[in-house]
Amino acid sequence: MTEKVQKAIDKILSDKSAEIKELFMEIREILANHDDRLTEGVKWGMPSYDCKTIVAGLGGFKNHVSIWFHKGAIMKDELGLFVPGESKEMRQIKYEPGDEINVEGIKVYLDEAIELNVAGIKIAKAKSKAEKVFVDSSDFMEQLVKHKEASAFFNGLTTSQQNNFTSYIEEAKQEATKQKRIARSIERLSKGFKTTY
């Protein structure tokens, strides 16, 4: 493990429970040691596993650990391990403490994802001529200006990255959920994360 990867892992796990830390490291071992063609690095503040391009990423959260497959939308999901999602490209396998890790299943999915990269297969992107417009969230912006570090980081993001945060907040159906998402987003921005997950 490189120093850069170790620092990313330390940052991700700094405020996590012992159970999440153990689960994260167990899954990391599977990803890092499965195939010599995979190179472990850091992308978007989390460990990533590349073969020509990114194959998978590993994220640690308060109550679970996720493996993100970046071409998951075109993978077979023969074992039904992916969490149903509406992302155009990525799919995740999610584990909580106490879950039995399907080691062989993860390896099968890694093999498929590696082969997609080796073959140069890409996910067809929808062509859009529409200009990217900032999705406004006045409640979020009012709170954000009170946090200089988070605000400065947010202002340095691309429109798409900013929309990731504002859309996440505006999609909340209840005010309490919206306020939790605002607080979580500000916390993530303060820590230098470019995404809401």
Mean pLDDT, consecutive 10-residue stretches, the chain (197 aa), reads: 77 84 92 90 85 90 92 91 84 94 96 93 68 72 88 88 88 90 91 85
State the pTM of this model.
0.61
Q: pLDDT value at position 133?
A: 66
Q: pLDDT value at position 128?
A: 58
Dist CA 97 CA 19 (whole Å):
6
Q: pLDDT value at position 134?
A: 65
Tokens standing for residue 139: 């409640």
The alpha carbon of residue 99 and the mean position of all alpha carbons in its chain are separated, in whole angstroms, by 20
Q: pLDDT value at position 19?
A: 93
> Domain boundaries in the chain?
3-118, 138-190
Cα–Cα nearest to 185, from 135, 143, 134: 143
CATH of 3-118, one of 3.30.470.20, 1.10.10.60, 3.90.1150.200, 3.20.190.10: 3.90.1150.200
Q: pLDDT value at position 88?
A: 81
Q: Name the region of 120 (left: φ>0; alpha: ψ -120 to 50; beta: rest).
A: left
Cα–Cα nearest to 68, from 51, 45, 89: 89
Q: pLDDT value at position 132?
A: 62
Q: pLDDT value at position 189?
A: 92
